[in-house]
Chain A
Amino acid sequence: MITINNITKKYGSTQVLNIEELEIPRGQSFGLVGNNGAGKTTLFNLLLDLIRPTSGKINNHDVQVNTSEDWKNFTGSFIDESFLIGYLTPQEYFEFIGDLRGMNKEDIKTFLNQFEEFFNGEILGKKKYLRDLSKGNQKKAGIVAAMMGNPQVVILDEPFANLDPTTQIRLKNIIKKLTEDRDITVLVSSHDLSHVTEVCERIVVLDKGDVVKDIETSPETLQELESYFSA
């Protein structure tokens, strides 16, 4: 469970995020939407303790993220390509992350085997550095790395962007499968309303740092969101 209490983030006098109270129960698939500058990435950065909140606190499974680092053991994330190490091959990168997450060579191999279809033969054994892969393939590697080491919380910022249609569909299935057992919490942000409504059971809309909508997904959600954003 993730609880957000009175979190604000200000740069100078501009407030970019202001969330009074938000609770994400364990096992929920949580979607975050909003226009550019709404504060989606800021929220994720705060969750990962990459920036300091101006006020308030965030607890990730009872660990306050900016006072203890224990949350790192059970949280996997992929924000953007700066989460990749450009001069490694994907294989080496997975081994590195796997090492950090306490997996041995065999674990890593079995883990990666599950994603053979998702990789579509474009990631492993290609003799290329991550920095030389296309944006979409970089993203695939980053997303899979975020799921290494049995995390309890997976945070993905705009995972659908830059992916080809086939991979988008495969990613949706992967996310759905992750939350199937209601054990792993998945946080996803996206500009694509149809994807996010399809995989997330709950959708929060941010606008200029404020929560303006908090919806439990139903067949009407997509339409509701579309009319909100076209207004």
Chain B
Amino acid sequence: MIIRFLKLEWKEFFRSASFGKSLALKIIMAFFAIYLLVSFLSIGVFAYPFLKKQFPETDPFVLVNQFLIFLIIVDLIFRYLMQKIPVMSIKPMLILPIKKSKLVNYVLTKSIFSFFNVSSLVLYVPFAVVLIANGYNVAGVLGWTFFIFMLALCLNFINFLINKNNVAFGILLVVLAALWFSFKYQLFDVTSVFGNIFYAIYETPVLAVVGMVLAGVLYYMNFRELSKIIYLDKAVQTEEKEVKTSDLSFVNKLGDVAPFIKNDMRLIWRNKRTKTVFLMSFVFLLFGLMFFTMETYKDSEVMQLYACIFMTGGFALNYGQFIPAWDSEHYRMFMSQNFSYRKFLESKWYLMTVMTTVLFVLCTPYIYFGIQKYLLIVAGFFFNLGFTPLIMLFMGAFNKKRIDLSASGFGNTQGTSAAQFIVIIPVMIMPIIVYAIINKVFGFNAAVIAIAVIGVISFLLKKPIMNFIEGMYQKKKYATIHGFKQKD
């Protein structure tokens, strides 16, 4: 039976929507996965020599044990945010002659192979190997590693028990903060208390069994809990939240485009992926802190310009690159309504320019880093105000990949095609080249002005450019409708 389940699992993975993507994307995803695993692996391998070099007077293993508790809590927080019990996959099996206990066991066993648990193995096993190579007690290290892995499984099951409970999450954050403060201000000796516990496992490896017992108990608790709730109206049910509507009538002042803008605002706020895009654009604001202060970038104005374009353009770039695919689910309805493409495109344009302006205003504190840096931001702002939205709308005419709005936000690449990669050239590479050349020949001021001028000219030419873009969309209408209908 388990074999049969695993076969289904295999098919689910290889036939899933995300797997049917273009080859280029698959390769990029594979690289990313390999990158993550290699990072964990190298942390595992190099942690020991690194710590030894940095803190020669303490035993690196003791040091790791002392801070392990923080790592564990952070792990749990990440799991809380990203890991979900894979219970939906058993819905079609509920009516088949399979015992419920078997289904529950299957779901729980399956969760053991999640990315989180595997990555902790990739992290700790090489570390253990290095320890043994450095003459640590073999049995002790093995016991310790086993214990840590069991702890990872405990976290796995605790996370399911917490099951998106906000109170539990709050407690977690408080515990983390409390531990950190008591460490920072030496209220009580957090590191040595927990360090001693983990070190004790190394000294008496038999104690590792405690971890296994703990994991077993948690497994059983999950089993009981889940057995009670695998019904269609309990666990095996997609969430339905009660809707909160907000009054957006202030948008009506914008006239013709108002219905679309209202729609877009709701689109952004009510769907996970668009919401992520929206919130991430504020995170990009922090780019400046990184690029203006870090040694590596401090003197590279080209890199700083790149950062500046991202800071004010975060929204226009990330939201704009998928226009009009955000509306792919109901695109056919749009196309049978009596409105002109122009209003539809115009509303997107408004949204991008308004957000760019808001982000620019939020950039004001960067004046602190000097007028020169701020001028870069201003140049980036003009560029993003005039040029970026138009190029995004233009490239949008080539978007034909459907986006399912109900799908998750993080790391979701649905709707990505060559267009998203090509657009990097005009918005990221072009300004940097222009800047570099003019800076070399005429100096900083001229270069900054040139970037801003690109934006201003595009802004002034908006009308004819929009006419052209509108024509493009119209010409590609049928192909777009066809493309958006294809669920991958």
Give residues in A with beta carbon < 8 Å to B. Answer: 48-52, 69, 72-73, 75, 77, 79, 82-89, 91-92, 95-97, 99-101, 127-129, 131-132
Contact = CB atoms under 8 A, between A and B. Distances in A.
Contact of A84 (B330, B405, B485): B330
A127 B242 contact: yes
B337 A99 contact: no
A116 to B, nearest CB: 20
B228 interface: no
B266 A83 contact: no
A79 B332 contact: yes
Contacts of A129: 243, 270
Contacts of A72: 336-339
Contacts of B488: none
Contacts of B259: 95-96, 99-100
Contacts of A51: 478, 481-482
A50 B335 CA distance: 7
Contact of B338 (A88, A101, A131): A101
Given A51-B478, A127-B242, A85 B336 contact: no
Interface of B: 240, 242-243, 245, 258-259, 262-263, 266-267, 270-271, 329-333, 335-340, 405-406, 478, 481-482, 485
Contacts of B266: 87-88, 92
A26 B216 CA distance: 74
Contact of B263 (A79, A85, A89, A101): A85
Contacts of B332: 48, 50, 79, 82-83
Nearest to B252: A99
A-B pairs, 8 with minimum CB distance? A72-B338, A83-B333, A99-B259, A87-B270, A48-B336, A127-B243, A73-B338, A85-B330
A86 B267 CA distance: 9
Given A51-B482, A92-B266, A85 B243 contact: no
B336 A88 contact: no
| Max chain A Cβ within 10 angstroms of own Cβ: one of B243, B337, B485 | B337
B245 to A, nearest CB: 6
B408 to A, nearest CB: 15
**Quick one: which of A79, A91, A99 has the most chain B CB within 10 A?**
A99
Contact of B406 (A95, A128, A131): A131
A52 B270 contact: no
Contacts of A86: 329-330, 405-406
A104 to B, nearest CB: 11
Given A49-B335, A85-B263, 19 more contacts: A48-B335, A72-B336, A72-B338, A73-B338, A82-B331, A83-B332, A83-B333, A84-B333, A85-B329, A85-B330, A86-B405, A87-B266, A87-B270, A87-B405, A89-B243, A96-B259, A96-B262, A100-B338, A128-B240
Nearest to A48: B336
Nearest to B274: A87
A9 to B, nearest CB: 12
Contacts of B481: 50-51
Contacts of B263: 85, 88, 96
Contacts of A89: 243, 245
Given A51-B478, A51-B482, A92-B266, A97 B406 contact: no
Query: Most chain-B Cβ atoms within 10 A of its Cβ — which of A48, A86, A95, A101?
Result: A86
A82 B333 contact: yes
A20 B271 CA distance: 46
B338 A82 contact: no
A103 B178 CA distance: 58
Nearest to A105: B249
A219 to B, nearest CB: 36
A77 B478 contact: no
Of A75, A85, A92, A131, the most chain B CB neighbours within 10 A belong to: A85
Contacts of B242: 127-128
Contacts of B333: 82-85
Contact of B330 (A48, A83, A100): A83
Nearest to B474: A69
